Amino acid sequence: MKKANMPAQQKSLQIIPLGGLGEVGRNMMLLEYEDNVLIIDAGVGFPQEDMPGVDFIIPSIDYLKKGGKLQKKILGLVITHGHYDHIGAIPYLLGKIGNPHVFASPLTKAIILRRQEDFPNQPKLNISIVNPKDKIELGPFKLEFFAQVHNIPDTLGIFISTPVGNIVHTGDFKFDQNPIYSPPTDFASLEEMGKRNVSLLMSDSTGAEEFGHSFSEEVIMKNLEEIFKNAKGRIIAATFSSLINRVQQIIALSEKYGRKVAIDGYSMRTNVEISKKLGYIKSQKNTLIKPAQIADLPDQKVTFLGTGAQGEESAVLMRIVNREHRFIRIKKGDSIIFSSSVIPGNERTVQVLKDELYRQGAKVFHYKMMDIHAGGHAQRDELKRMIEIIRPKFFMPIHGQFSMLFNHAEVAESCGLPKENVIVAENGQIIILGQKSISLSKRTVESNLVMVDGLGVGDVGEVVLRDRQNLSKDGMFVVIVVVDRMTGKVRNSPDIISRGFVYLKESKELLYNTRKRVVGIVEKAAGSGGAVNWIYVKDEIRNKVGDFLYAKTERRPMILPVVIEV
């Protein structure tokens, strides 16, 4: 591949974030050298509040694939850990980019394969297991994996030797000397890397706006234990199904306090199954029970574990609160644990959910220290320490909203890195790393949000979304007119169907005047006989009826004119 007559120092490496920079989630990063592309992570993001009906968002691969043809040589996909914001887009993207080889730790691999079963039409994945200290070579890149502590076991960081210098990609991490069920942070490995002349450090920014040090899993465990100690009734815990450490803690505490654990929800059950099989979740023989069995136990012997701390519509907690769950209703004395933080954008939904839980008699525990973000990600003191250990020449904050990236960049500068050596980039920008320089290219690549709604991937675009937004704001208004082709006269009175705009039964006058206007518009255009431009007529109805309704109601429903010639 390499042309021998070209001196290597003239070439540079391109780093291209396709997702995860300027947002929490949807992580995907490309490293490109001479058209060879290494991909790190392929995650989903959660839709924002202005995306009604969208299940989640994934990165765009337009840069890798144009007109059905791969533009680059893809060397492989390396996954840092099993959270959905790092693996969730795999079933949607991999088949489209030639099903490249995947490298992941044992638990991550198991979670990816389990999820892939839900997509039977996708090609079989080729996944190789990698463990800390393993080395692999992919084209011009030499990768070495190292263990990181996060809130899911088997999390990896990556040391990457490239022709222009060494890069450290932290993945998601926190520094924890007392994690509950995994080895503590491997400072020896980090320090060893710090001695190897690291050119660029790319580090997790999710916790960069929080001062101090993240809570150790041990502290989180103690806080959880307080709840278990004091709970008289049932404990209902809601968390992400991928927050394996938290699930394990809840199981262990339940055993300690004589409770059985009913695990509910498909994703939660399968993740627990996988983790148990690989030994990442341990439980005694009779601890785990089926949700139906809780009815046979006294309240103080029950822990109910499910998803839904984000207020997700179809999650277990939501079904319980809406009284749609088959086996459980909230009752006085229940203790509800929200054990994951609110993803930006979901705050209101979660607040409504909490209020409703209190209304139904439960007590809600929602400690910030149990948050997935605050709990799983390094905060300023740790981020600073990471930079001081790795001692990179250049620094680039990754994973987080823009404010998080910005704050992380400030941390780097406070460690003595010159401002020009710190790059704050966003999705779609191209970062050019040379042997002695780093810069942002003026060029950008396609990095728009690809929306997934049910079975559709990418078919909900700007237009569909705008329609949904309008419909959700002011509703819709359908006008059906039957026109006599021969005379150009409107037959009968136009029909009006409306949803979400006004209550028709109470708006007789408005409808009467609207109909009158519609007849006027149509007959003016069609009454003269000859060829009639019906597109023009429909536009006229849309505009004039729209203006009229706005004048009367100050609302702008979506107007759908239907003209039928007979």
**DSSP-derived pairing of the beta strands 135-138 and 141-148:** antiparallel
Active site residue 204: yes
Reported in sequence order, the residue ranges of 90-154 that DSSP labels E, i.e. its strands, are 102-104, 127-129, 135-138, 141-148
Q: Which is nearer to Zn ion, 157 or 194 (CB)?
A: 157
Choose between 172 and 264: whose C-beta lies nearer to Zn ion: 172
Question: Which residues, in sequence order, are CB contacts of 388 under 8 Å at separation 6+?
Answer: 415
How far is the C-alpha of 463 from the C-alpha of 321, rounded, in Å? 34
Please tell me the distance from the alpha carbon of residue 26 to that of residue 56, in angstroms, as a whole number.
Answer: 9
Residue closer to Zn ion (CB basis): 318 or 386: 386
268 is written with which tokens? 């939660």
Q: Which two tokens stand for residue 112?
A: 């990816």
Between 172 and 217, whose beta carbon lies closer to Zn ion?
172
Tell me how far, at minimum, the Cβ of 155 lies from Zn ion, in Å.
Answer: 7
- Cα–Cα distance, 498 to 514 (Å, whole number): 13
Q: How many CA atoms lie within 13 A of 299 on its CB side?
A: 14
Residue 478 bridge partners (DSSP): 497, 560
Sheet with 558-565: list strands edge to edge. 490-499, 476-483, 558-565
Residues 172, 176, 204, 453: which is the catalytic one? 204
Q: Largest Cα–Cα distance in the chain?
A: 90
| Residue 227 in tokens | 């709840």
Query: In angstroms, what is the minimal distance from the CB of 285 to Zn ion?
Result: 31
Nearest CB to Zn ion, comparing residues 174 and 325: 174
Least distance (Å) from Zn ion to the CB of residue 172?
4
Under 8 Å between Cβ of 73 and 37: yes
Which residue, among 499, 447, 527, 423, has the nearest Cα to 201 in the 3D structure?
423
| Closer residue to Zn ion in complex, CB, 83/234 | 83
What is 459-518 written as a DSSP string?
Answer: -S-HHHHHHHHHHHHH-EEEEEEEE-TTT-PEEEEEEEEEESS--GGG-HHHHHHHHHHH
At closest approach, how far in Å is the CB of 372 from Zn ion? 8
Taking the complex as a whole, the smallest distance from the CB of residue 551 to Zn ion amounts, in Å, to 52
Q: State which residue, 399 or 468, has the beta carbon closest to Zn ion.
A: 399
> Which residues contact Zn ion by CB under 5 A?
83, 172
Phi, psi values for residue 512, rounded to 5°: -60, -50
Nearby residues of 185 by Cβ (< 8 Å), 6 or more positions away: 148, 149, 173, 174, 175, 176, 177
Kindly report each contact of residues 506-510 with a partner whose C-beta sits within 8 Å and lies 24 or more positions away, as own/partner: 510/549, 510/552, 510/553
The full 3-state SS of 252-304, as one line of letters, equals HHHHHCCCEEEECCHHHHHHHHHHHHCCCCCCCCCCEECHHHHHHCCHHHEEE
CB of 412 to Zn ion, least distance (A): 21
What is the closest distance, in whole angstroms, from the C-beta atom of residue 83 to Zn ion in the complex? 4
Q: Which of 377, 399, 408, 453 is catalytic?
A: 377
Min CB(18)–Zn ion separation in Å? 17
Angle between helices 508-526 and 534-553 (to 10 degrees): 150
Please say which residue, 111 or 518, places its beta carbon nearer to Zn ion.
Answer: 111
Residue closer to Zn ion, measured from CB, 158 or 521: 158
Task: For residue 284, give both structure tokens.
Answer: 């005694």
Smaller CB separation from Zn ion, 12 or 148? 148
Tell me the two tokens of residue 361.
């008699």
Shortest reach from residue 427's CB to Zn ion, in Å:
18
| Tokens read off for 86 | 């790092």
Q: Verify whether residue 101 is a known catalytic residue.
A: no
- List active site positions: 204, 377
